[in-house]
Chain A
Amino acid sequence: MKPRVATAWLGGCSGCHMSFLDLDERLIDLADKMELVYSPIADIKKFPVNVDVALVEGAVTNSENEEMAHIIRKNTKFIIAFGDCATTGNVTAMRNKFTTEDISHRAYIELADKNPRIPDEYVTIAKLLKNARPLHEVIKVDAWLHGCPPTAEQIWSAVTALLQGQTPVLSPAYLRYG
């Protein structure tokens, strides 16, 4: 049976996923070797059970991210913090010095083109947590893939190792923040 792989997008800019797509023709090799069971680039609504590997992009910045992180952990054997936001908080965490009220005011009142209003009556809009946090401060993480974004080479190195059943040991050359 092919390894079941998921990718998830929490509080990030999707740049890490863009970098994943930069694997280009290697994506075709990957498609033969693994089954993509959940991803923002695939139309799957619910995070499945029995996932072998999950690449999780972004910091945990709102209530939805937090809930999702726990769902991923519960259903996944091996979790990779995918990129700098998942690893350190990075740009997503730059808002931590402001209160969530100030951030909402800035976003929905000061910068509104029209109808300035804080949409706190909508249950579909996730609540900001007090701080955006790296993934490993919320759930157990098994490996870290750095970079903003990680390069396609870094991703290839980690994913191919995992598909061969090995824990990815990233060469020091791939340890690179920013």
Chain B
Amino acid sequence: MAVITFTIDDIQYSAHEGDTVLNVAHANNIHIPTLCYLEGLSPFGACRLCMVEVEGSPKLFPACTTKPAEGMIVRTKTDRLKKYRRMIVELLASEGNHQCAVCVVNGHCELQDLAYEVGLDHVRFPYLFPNKSLDATHKEFVIDRNRCVLCTRCVRVCHEVEGAHVWDIAWRGINCEIISDMNQPWGDSQLCTSCGKCVRVCPVGALLEKGQTVGELRKERSFVKFIVNARTKREWITNGIEEDE
């Protein structure tokens, strides 16, 4: 199989078929911010935080779904990208109802971490304060759509790993929401196995376990990589799978 040579931030790297710009970057300790991406799940390109510049194109490309090509020149840290990444976090903040002070994942939240990474001192767009719903009908879990960033990790982990396909995306544009079972209460779902995978992969506090209060929920997400590895390669190893802190 041919090896592809391409450049990220002025240094040459090799890639193989099936690689993405993002996994080559991560494998070489080049940090590209992500939100919807999670190792073990199919890349989706929803959040646009991993956008990179490719020389010769005015467009930006999501690193998670872009395949390296021979001679491709990729830049990951330009001022333009930094500007857009901050704007993306600002839009996420303004389109939801994110009150860190009363959130179960306060201090262990991927959206908070991104806000700090992009230096988000305040949000320049007007807050929309959307009227989102909360579903606590499930006996163990809650979905609070106020905090949802529509990364679709829950949709993908339920479909691809658990095989239950409880979650879907409904409506369009600003009205997009995660729904269970054709927009029925989660507690009534006959598909849900109550496995909790969706709760564990959620980057924010939108999916949570009942009985937890501010800052108490710490999510461990590397299990997805472990399960997928075990299933596809028959390797039951945790070595090299970094634990979330």
Residues of A within 8 A of B (CB): 81, 84, 87-91, 93-94, 96-97, 131, 133-134, 136-137, 141, 143-144, 146, 148, 170, 172, 175-178
Q: Which residues of B contact A89 (CB under 8 A)?
A: 127, 129
CA distance A68 to B96 in the complex (A): 28
In contact, B99 and A90 (Cβ under 8 angstroms):
yes
In contact, B122 and A148 (Cβ under 8 angstroms):
no
Besides A91-B99, A136-B122, 17 other A-B contacts (C-beta < 8 A): A84-B100, A84-B101, A88-B99, A90-B99, A90-B101, A93-B99, A94-B102, A96-B97, A134-B127, A141-B122, A148-B100, A172-B116, A172-B119, A175-B115, A176-B116, A178-B99, A178-B103
Task: Name which residue of chain B comes closest to A145, CB basis.
Answer: B121
**Cross-chain pairs A/B with CB under 8 angstroms, 10 sampled:** A88-B93, A90-B99, A90-B101, A94-B97, A94-B102, A97-B97, A97-B131, A144-B121, A175-B116, A178-B101
CA distance A176 to B108 in the complex (A): 12
Q: Is B69 an interface residue (CB 8 A)?
A: no
Residues of B within 8 A of A (CB): 93, 97-103, 106-107, 112, 115-116, 119-123, 126-127, 129-132, 214-215
Total number of residue pairs linking A and B with CB closer than 8 Å: 70
Q: Which residues of A contact B132 (CB under 8 A)?
A: 97
Looking at the assembled complex, report how far the CB atom of A85 sits from the nearest CB atom of chain B, in whole angstroms: 9
Q: Which residues of A contact B101 (CB under 8 A)?
A: 84, 90-91, 148, 177-178
